[in-house]
C-alpha cells in the first residue's frame, strides 16, 4: 500500500503532525528509532526535567518555606531512587499516551531507523529485522536534535554528562560544574543545587540566557546567585582531567589569560543542541541543509526536494517542543490543501526554574536594534498581594508596547508561575492586543496574573498598586 504521509521521528513535531494528518483523512505512518514514542521531549527532555524540577522544588520548599507557613515536618530527607522512579513513571505514562493516540487515530507505527531512499520511499531498518521499504506520497522529516559536544571532552554520561545523564544521576554530586548558562544548564543546575550540590556555571558569553531580555537575565542571575549558584561568565571549559577521583576542569577566560583548575564530581555539558540528520540519506536525495546542518525549508515547510518536508528542531528556529508541534499541525494542514501556518512572532519561551522566566515577542534590545519606538510598563511581584502572601515576591512583569499604536510587542515575566501567566500575553498578542486592552481586562483577585494587568497599566503610567 502507499501511505499519504510518512513522518520520520515521533517527537512533539512528528507525533502531532501524524495525528493532525490522520484527523484530516490521510493514511499515515510514523517511523521511530527509539523504543518509545515522544522523542527528546517526552523521553529525555521536557517531561523528565520538569518532573525533577517539580520534585526538587517541593523538596526545597519543605526545607525552607513550610516552617514559615506553620507546617513542621522536620528536615526533609532525600530518597533519590524514589525521586528518579517518580520521574520515570511520569515519562512512562506520557510515552504510552502517544502509543494510545497513534492507535486511536489509526496511525501505523514502524519501529526502526528511517532513511529516505528517494521521494516517496522510506527504508526502515530495525536492529535485527531485515530492512523494509514503505511507499508514500509525502515525507515529513521530524528527526529533531541531539546534544552538541565539545571537542576533546568525552561525554560518558556518568561523570561527564549531557542533559540525558544529568536526568539520571545515581547520587547527588558534591560539586557540579555546568558548562553553558542556557535554559537546560540552568534548569538542571537548579535541580541538583536544590538536592544539595554546589553548582558552578561556566558561560562563554558575558551574560546568562542569551536571547532573553537583558534586564530579565540580570535580575534572574542575581536571584540564582542568592540561591547559591555561582557563575563564571566570559569563560570556557578547555579540558577535563578524568584520571583522579575528582574531575579537574580547566577553565579559561574567553579573552585569554590564566586558566583556572576547578574540581568537580560531575561536569554537565549543556552548550546547545544540533540537528539530527545523520544516516537519513539527505545528501543522496538532494535535500539541502544550511551551514548548521539544518534542513532548509520554505514557508510551507517544503525542502529543496518535492514531496519531502521538515519541521521541528531539525529546521531553523527556536528549539522548542511547542514550536515543533505548531509546525507539525501547519504542515499536515498544508498537505491537506488547507492554509496551515505558524506565527513565529508569538512563540513563548519559558525557563522552568524558581522563579520561572517567561517571555513572548520582542526584547528591549531587539526593539532598539530594529529602531522601533516603544513604551515599557513594569510591575514587581513584591507589590502583588497574592505573591506577598505566597512568599514569592521575587521578579516582575514587563510589557513593551509600540509607542505609536500601543500594540503589545513583547512581554517578559520573572516570577513564580511565569510559564502559565505568559499564555495570557501570547493570546493577547495573537489577537493584536494593545496594552490598554490588557489593562482594561478584568483579572481575578487575588492572583499573580494581576501583575500582568498592572504592568499594562504601567505602560500608561497609571498602575494602581505602585
Ligand atoms: C533536557 C531538555 C529539556 C527540555 N525542556 C523543554 C521544555 O521545557 N520546553 C520545550 O518547549 N522544549 C524543551 N526541550 C526541547 C524539546 O525537547 C525539543 O525542542 C523538541 O523535542 C523537538 O521536537 P522534535 O519533534 O523536533 O524532535 P525530537 O523530540 O528530538 O524527536 C525526534 C525523534 O526522531 C527520532 N529519530 C531521529 N532520527 C531518526 C531516524 N533516522 N529514524 C527514525 N527516527 C528517528 C528520534 O529518536 C526522536 O524520537 C528540552 C530539551 C532537553 C534536552
Please give the grid coordinates belonging to residue 122. 522510506
Question: Which atom from ligand 1 is nearest to the alpha carbon of 278?
Answer: 41
Q: Whose grid coordinates read 524558581? A: 354
Ligand 1 contact, 47 CB (< 6 A): no
Please give the grid coordinates belonging to residue 283. 545528501
Q: Kind of pairing, strands 230-232 and 198-202?
A: parallel
The best mutation among 6, 7, 8, 9 to test binding of ligand 1, ranked by most ligand atoms within 8 Å of the C-beta, falls on 9
Question: Which atom from ligand 1 is nearest to the alpha carbon of 39?
Answer: 49
User: Ligand 1 centroid vs 65 CA: distance in angstroms?
Assistant: 35
Ligand 1 contact, 180 CB (< 6 A): no
Atom 37 of ligand 1, residue of closest alpha carbon: 143
d(CA 175, CA 197): 5
Ligand 1 contact, 12 CB (< 6 A): yes
Distance of CA 95 to the CA centre of its chain: 18
The whole model's pTM is what? 0.97
Ligand 1 contact, 161 CB (< 6 A): no
> How many Cβ atoms sit within 10 Å of the Cβ of residue 402?
16
d(CA 62, CA 145): 36
Sheet holding 198-202, edge to edge: 160-161, 266-269, 175-179, 198-202, 230-232
Ligand 1 contact, 280 CB (< 6 A): yes
Contact 398, 459 (CB under 8 A): no
d(CA 362, CA 344): 11
Ligand 1 contact, 116 CB (< 6 A): no
User: Which residues, in sequence order, are CB contacts of 265 under 8 Å at separation 6+?
Assistant: 159, 173, 174, 175, 176, 246, 247
Please give the grid coordinates belonging to residue 128. 535485527
Question: Which atom from ligand 1 is nearest to the alpha carbon of 147?
Answer: 53
The three state secondary structure string of 78-107 is: CCHHHHHHHHHHHHHHHHHHHHHHHHHCCC
d(CA 284, CA 306): 14
Ligand 1 contact, 277 CB (< 6 A): no
pLDDT at 128: 79
User: Ligand 1 centroid vs 111 CA: distance in angstroms?
Assistant: 17
Q: Whose grid coordinates read 540580570? A: 218
End-to-end C-alpha distance for the chain, whole angstroms: 67
Please give the grid coordinates belonging to residue 49. 526535567
Contact 122, 287 (CB under 8 A): no
Digit-by-digit pLDDT tens for the chain (466 residues) are: 899 999 999 999 999 999 999 999 999 999 999 999 999 999 999 999 999 999 999 999 999 999 999 999 999 999 999 999 999 999 999 999 999 999 999 999 999 999 999 999 999 999 877 899 999 999 999 999 999 999 999 999 999 999 999 999 999 999 999 999 999 999 999 999 999 999 999 999 999 999 899 999 999 999 999 999 999 999 999 999 999 999 999 999 999 999 999 999 999 999 999 999 999 999 999 999 999 999 999 999 999 999 999 999 999 999 999 999 999 999 999 999 999 999 999 999 999 999 999 999 999 999 999 999 999 999 999 999 999 999 999 999 999 999 999 999 999 999 999 999 999 999 999 999 999 999 999 999 999 999 999 999 999 999 999 9
Please give the grid coordinates belonging to residue 420. 502559565
Ligand 1 contact, 40 CB (< 6 A): yes
Please choose, from the candidates 224, 238, 151, 149, the residue with its C-alpha nearest in 3D space to the C-alpha of residue 181.
224
User: Ligand 1 centroid vs 11 CA: distance in angstroms?
Assistant: 5
pLDDT at 227: 97
Give Cα separations from 345 to 1, 25, 179, 314, 349 (angstroms).
40, 30, 30, 19, 11
d(CA 108, CA 231): 48
Contact 37, 99 (CB under 8 A): yes
DSSP codes of every residue in 296-346: P--TT-B-SSTTEEE-GGGSSS---HHHHHHHHHHHHHHHTTS-----TTS
The best mutation among 6, 7, 8, 11 to test binding of ligand 1, ranked by most ligand atoms within 8 Å of the C-beta, falls on 11
Please choose, from the candidates 456, 264, 243, the residue with its C-alpha nearest in 3D space to the C-alpha of residue 251.
264
pLDDT at 358: 98
Q: What is the DSSP letter of 62?
A: H
Q: Where are the alpha helices (DSSP H) in 7-45?
A: 12-23, 39-44
pLDDT at 402: 98
Amino acid at each position: 500500500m502507499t501511505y499519504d504521509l510518512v513522518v520520520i521521528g515521533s517527537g512533539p513535531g512528528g507525533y502531532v503532525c501524524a495525528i493532525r494528518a490522520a484527523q484530516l483523512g490521510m493514511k499515515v505512518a510514523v517511523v521511530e528509532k527509539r523504543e518509545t514514542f515522544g522523542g527528546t521531549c517526552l523521553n529525555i527532555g521536557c517531561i523528565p526535567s520538569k518532573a525533577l524540577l517539580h520534585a526538587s522544588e517541593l523538596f526545597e520548599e519543605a526545607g525552607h518555606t513550610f516552617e514559615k507557613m506553620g507546617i513542621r515536618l522536620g528536615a526533609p530527607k532525600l530518597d533519590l531512587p524514589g525521586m528518579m522512579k517518580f520521574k520515570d513513571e511520569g515519562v512512562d505514562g506520557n510515552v504510552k499516551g502517544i502509543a494510545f493516540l497513534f492507535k486511536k487515530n489509526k496511525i501505523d507505527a514502524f519501529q526502526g531507523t528511517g532513511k529516505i531512499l528517494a521521494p516517496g520511499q522510506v527504508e526502515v531498518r530495525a536492529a535485527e529485522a531485515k530492512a523494509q521499504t514503505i511507499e508514500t506520497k509525502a515525507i515529513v522529516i521530524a528527526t529533531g536534535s541531539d546534544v552538541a559536544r565539545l571537542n576533546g571532552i568525552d561525554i560518558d554520561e556518568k561523570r561527564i554528562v549531557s542533559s540525558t545523564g544529568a536526568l539520571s544521576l545515581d547520587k547527588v554530586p558534591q560539586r557540579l560544574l555546568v558548562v553553558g548558562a542556557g535554559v537546560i544548564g540552568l534548569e538542571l543546575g537548579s535541580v541538583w543545587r536544590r538536592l544539595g550540590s554546589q553548582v558552578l556555571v561556566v558561560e562563554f558569553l558575558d551574560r546568562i540566557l542569551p536571547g532573553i531580555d537583558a534586564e530579565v537575565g540580570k535580575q534572574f542571575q542575581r536571584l540564582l546567585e542568592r540561591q547559591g549558584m555561582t557563575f563564571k561568565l566570559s569563560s570556557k571549559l578547555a579540558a577535563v582531567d578524568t584520571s583522579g577521583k575528582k574531575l579537574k576542569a580547566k577553565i579559561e577566560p574567553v579573552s585569554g589569560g590564566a586558566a583556572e583548575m576547578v574540581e568537580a564530581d560531575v561536569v554537565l555539558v549543556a552548550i546547545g543542541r544540533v540537528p539530527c540528520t545523520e544516516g537519513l540519506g539527505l545528501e543522496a536525495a538532494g535535500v539541502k541543509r544550511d551551514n548548521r546542518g539544518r534542513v532548509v525549508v520554505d514557508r510551507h515547510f517544503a525542502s529543496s526536494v518535492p514531496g519531502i518536508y521538515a519541521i521541528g528542531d531539525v529546521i531553523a528556529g527556536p528549539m522548542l517542543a511547542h514550536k515543533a508541534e505548531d509546525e507539525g499541525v501547519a504542515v499536515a494542514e498544508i498537505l491537506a490543501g488547507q492554509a496551515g501556518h505558524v506565527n513565529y512572532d508569538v512563540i513563548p519561551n519559558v525557563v522552568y526554574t524558581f522563579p520561572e522566566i517567561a517571555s513572548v515577542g520582542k526584547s528591549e534590545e531587539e526593539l532598539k536594534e530594529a529602531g522601533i519606538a516603544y513604551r515599557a510598563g513594569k510591575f514587581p511581584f513584591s507589590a502583588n498581594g497574592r505573591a506577598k502572601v505566597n512568599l514569592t515576591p521575587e521578579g516582575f512583569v514587563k510589557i513593551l508596547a509600540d509607542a505609536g499604536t500601543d500594540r503589545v510587542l513583547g512581554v517578559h515575566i520573572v516570577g513564580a508561575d511565569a510559564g502559565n501567566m505568559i499564555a495570557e500575553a501570547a493570546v493577547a498578542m495573537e489577537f493584536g492586543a494593545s496594552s490598554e486592552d490588557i489593562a482594561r481586562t478584568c483579572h481575578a483577585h487575588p492572583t499573580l496574573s494581576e501583575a500582568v494587568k498592572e504592568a499594562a497599566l504601567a505602560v500608561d503610567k497609571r498602575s494602581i498598586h505602585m
